[in-house]
Amino acid sequence: MDDAPASRIEVRELTLAYGGDIVLDALNLPIPSGRITVLAGPNGCGKSTLLRAIRRLHAPRSGHVLLDAEDITTLNGKALGRRIGLLAQSPSAPQDMTVEELVRLGRYPHQAMLQPWSPRDDAAVAAAMAGTGVEALRRRPIGSLSGGQLQRAWIAMVLAQETEVICLDEPVNHLDMAHQLDCLELVARLNREEGRTIVLVLHDLNLAARYADQLVFVHRGKVHRRGAPEELMTSEGIAEVFEVDAAILTDPVHQRPFCIPHRRV
């Protein structure tokens, strides 16, 4: 990364647990403003739990999440919802809800008692549906969609929220190659053109390396390493965290590291 911008989100000494099982232990992580941060790590290392804690959906055992230097526990629910959007890993909604109804839910944090719906809400919903290519599906019940169509409808719901921070947990799950590109290019455009701060969980390290300004390897309850993809995507680093031998090449199109895993270590 070039000269570090201010942290939009600062995770400080955050310990997250389920009952007695500690998942993340006194974890520290600055998430720079206006940049794309990608979290990667083995199954079960706590990436989703961390994203949920950043969105205040998982109460920490100890430690803090600061948003623009303010502890997120001081914000009310709607104020936080206008600032941080999260697409969780397995979101659920009634199967008979239409795509458009789902996307409109994203506007909830913007609604006030005396002004339940506005032209601005319509515009945000339309833009989110156009950006994710779900306009033609708008009247379909979500229970009738394919996995990839449903994923795009959920992404639209989060985009309609128009938050300065967008967190997406495995957003390209279920998507074919074209829609993976559409999704990540859309997110990259929101980052580039509107300065949104993006936090993604991605399992595909090659996509992570292509889109991340800051790549974070989460391992054994800690941030194992963080930095530019070129710094993290080494054979040694990948063997330590993911327990595979991998050859590292340079992607000839994007000039980013490209990894070919070939054997478990």
Ligand X SMILES: Nc1ncnc2c1ncn2[C@@H]1O[C@H](COP(=O)(O)OP(=O)(O)OP(=O)(O)O)[C@@H](O)[C@H]1O
Beta pairing, strands 214-219 & 36-40: parallel
Q: Is residue 243 a contact residue for ligand X (CB under 6 A)?
A: no
Give whichever of 41 and 257 is closer to ligand X, judged by the CB atom. Answer: 41
Give whichever of 32 and 41 is closer to ligand X, judged by the CB atom. Answer: 41
Binding ligand X (rule: CB under 6 A), the pick from 2, 43, 113, 262 is 43
Q: What's 133's DSSP letter?
A: T
For the chain, count helices (H), then strands (E): 9, 12
- Determine the interface stretch with ligand X among 38-46, 91-99, 131-139, 238-246 (rule: CB under 6 A): 38-46
Q: Is residue 23 a contact residue for ligand X (CB under 6 A)?
A: yes
Calpha distance 104→130 (Å, rounded): 13
- Determine the interface stretch with ligand X among 37-45, 174-182, 243-251, 256-264 (rule: CB under 6 A): 37-45
State residue 38 phi and psi, 5-degree precision.
Answer: -115, 125
Give whichever of 46 and 109 is closer to ligand X, judged by the CB atom. Answer: 46
- Degrees (nearest 5) of the Cα angle 49, 92, 30? 25
Shortest approach of ligand X to residue 88 CB, angstroms?
10
Shortest approach of ligand X to residue 254 CB, angstroms?
24
Estimate the share of the chain in helix, then strand, then coil, as percent rounded to the nearest 5: 35, 30, 30
H or E segment at 48? Answer: helix 47-54
Q: Is residue 18 a contact residue for ligand X (CB under 6 A)?
A: yes
Taking Cα atoms as reference points, which of 161, 158, 165, 162 lies closest to residue 9?
165
Q: Is residue 171 a contact residue for ligand X (CB under 6 A)?
A: no
Give whichever of 7 and 49 is closer to ligand X, judged by the CB atom. Answer: 49
Neighbouring CB atoms inside 10 A of 114's CB total 5
Interaction pattern, residues 44-83, with ligand X; x per rule: CB under 6 A? xxxxxx----------------------------------
Q: Which string of DSSP letters, residue by residue, matches 85-110?
A: EEE-SS----TT-BHHHHHHHTTGGG
Shortest approach of ligand X to residue 47 CB, angstroms?
4
Give whichever of 43 and 76 is closer to ligand X, judged by the CB atom. Answer: 43
Shortest approach of ligand X to residue 246 CB, angstroms?
18
Calpha distance 8→5 (Å, rounded): 9
Shortest approach of ligand X to residue 203 CB, angstroms?
7
Give whichever of 88 and 127 is closer to ligand X, judged by the CB atom. Answer: 88
End-to-end, the C-alpha distance of the chain in Å comes to 30
Neighbouring CB atoms inside 10 A of 244's CB total 15
Q: Is residue 149 a contact residue for ligand X (CB under 6 A)?
A: no
Compute how many residues bind ligand X; rule: CB under 6 A: 11
Binding interface with ligand X (CB under 6 A): 18, 23, 41, 43-49, 89
